[in-house]
Structure 1
């Protein structure tokens, strides 16, 4: 009974503030106040106040155990290690690390797979095409460098 009175008083107070805001022609603020003012009555009428108090008590019990129970600290450490491992694998995957997959046995009657033939990279100096240019890894920027040089930058 006390919960009902408090919730409807809060709703009435919020509606009054919303009315004052609307009277001052601050309609957006009045709408927000009105929306928030409806929450206590809505929570009471749906029966969510007992649920909220149960959740509050359980959270307080958990917080108490967090401070005093070493098992909770162990669980937090395990969660932290798990998160760190997940982030590390994501980071290493972005850095271009290659995972090796286990070999699969060939199916009966199937021809064995041949490894892909890769060609050895040709040396720039051996080809003679880039004999005058330096090999500093910026070969892709040669065109941009030439344009900037023409413009005097």
Structure 2
């Protein structure tokens, strides 16, 4: 009830300002002010103000918004987790249909070697060595194959 009164008073004040503006021969501005001042009155007459005030002051409505936010958060988290996996949903379905289980990304990594640094494989050629022509794009190709492109 209080919100409706405030909105109606704001609308009446806006129409008064529009009348003064029209009196000063600024008809375009007066029309614009009148249009803006009729919006609160229209909201009151359609019942939108009562509906919004009912929503704003009910704890059960806020609990509902909290549950919607929680549901959204859970959906986003599961999507992000699914995208971080190395295999896509279609690849996992195809693997299950073929009777194989999906391989975890860590299981497909090469085994770590222990020993001297000379025993470990190098990712970059040494200073004096030139890279093989195919090595320049091998990292990029591996990334593209990982994403199925």
- Structure 1-normalised TM-score? 0.40
What's the TM-score once normalised by structure 2's chain length? 0.41
Structure with greater contact order relative to length (CA < 8 Å, sep ≥ 6): 2
